[in-house]
Amino acid sequence: MSEAPHGNPIKTPAQLLAVVIAGFAVPIIIIVMLAYYVDSSTRTGAGTDSLAETAVAQRIAPLAQVEIRDANAPRVYRTGEEVYKAVCSACHAAGTAGAPKFTNTADWSPRIAQGFDTLWHTALTGKGAMPARGGTSPDDFSDYEIGRAVAYMANNAGANFADPPVPAAGASGAAAASAAAPAAAAGASDAGAAQAAAAMAAMASIPQAAAPAAGATQSADASQAGKALYTQICQACHAAGVLNAPKFGDKEAWAPRLKDPMDTVYNYALHGKGAMPPKGGSTASDADVKAAVDYMVSAAK
């Protein structure tokens, strides 16, 4: 039996033409589709990001920049949470270097028992591995903002501290910053906050150039110098007993302080204690400060 001959699929000239066209068209279509796919996909290669607009702008940015602010604009103080996140969380979030861990009541309980004033003072002056003000400067965060951060951390660990009193409008410099020193303990009354605000306003209004009363007049004796410095500086708090300052002429308030040697009392006045800044926030000489202490002590005997 003989086999049947194979049939030719292309039987007409039209079919041959169609096959030829398809042989050219199909590969071209496939190539175009692949090229479109590759071009539309995201490509990341070495050096690609270095030419981005943001990267170029960072490279050509000047080292020094000038930021213009309105000196008359009211200052916007940061919240305790903002200060905590910017500064304190570096150690307190994980309890690094012995820092009381955030929200850990066991770590914070003995510290809360010391009171807000003590915690605030510790934050401002430093303790152990913690630098003063958490390593910042007064230009970065004010004493008031540091106090807010202290209250925020303590309150998240079981305390019920009130924020420190808001600094008086226009207060600036060492006197105003120190006047906002720890004075708002847990549950401080409105009257206490008002007293603190009044003291800060009084301290801020003191003309610092006139602070060293006796320094300008060498012939003035110690008694006159002490009285003058008390009138200009010390009475802002001592006249009414603001911020727990021993009231002028109050023997009962001065009695526990006078149990210490006078050198110790002088040291408190010269270097500060509690809410009282060094030299009361003035630039008076050591001799004038001691004379002011003697003047107040003599009135309390």
Q: What is the pTM of this model?
A: 0.41
Of 200, 235, 233, 237, whose CA–CA distance to 214 is shortest? Answer: 233
Q: Cα torsion at 154, 158, 160, 162 (round to 10°)? A: 20
Q: Using CA atoms, how far apart are residues 192 and 104, in angstroms rounded to an integer?
A: 30
Secondary structure string (H, E, C) spanning 139-181: CCCCHHHHHHHHHHHHHCCCCCCCCCCCCCCCCCHHHHHHHCC
Can you tell me the distance from the alpha carbon of 92 to that of 133, in angstroms, rounded to the nearest whole number? Answer: 14
Q: Would you tell me the crossing angle of helices 286-299 and 262-271 to the nearest 10 degrees?
A: 120
**SS3 annotation, 47-97:** CCHHHCHHHHHHHHCCCCCCCCCCCCCCCCCCCHHHHHHHHHHHHHCCCHH
Round the CA-based radius of gyration of the chain to a whole number and report it.
37
- For the record, the structure tokens of 182 come out as 């720890």
The H or E element that residue 220 is part of is none
Residue pLDDT tens, the chain, 301 long: 455 556 677 778 888 888 888 888 889 999 998 888 877 666 666 666 677 788 888 888 887 777 776 767 777 889 999 999 988 988 898 888 788 999 999 999 999 999 999 899 989 888 888 888 888 888 888 899 999 999 999 999 999 999 988 887 655 444 444 444 444 444 444 444 555 555 555 554 444 434 444 444 443 467 788 888 888 888 878 887 777 788 888 888 888 888 888 888 888 888 888 778 888 777 888 888 888 889 888 888 8
Asked if 108 and 159 count as a contact pair (C-beta separation under 8 A), the reply is: yes
CB-hemisphere CA count at 13 Å for 83?
A: 26
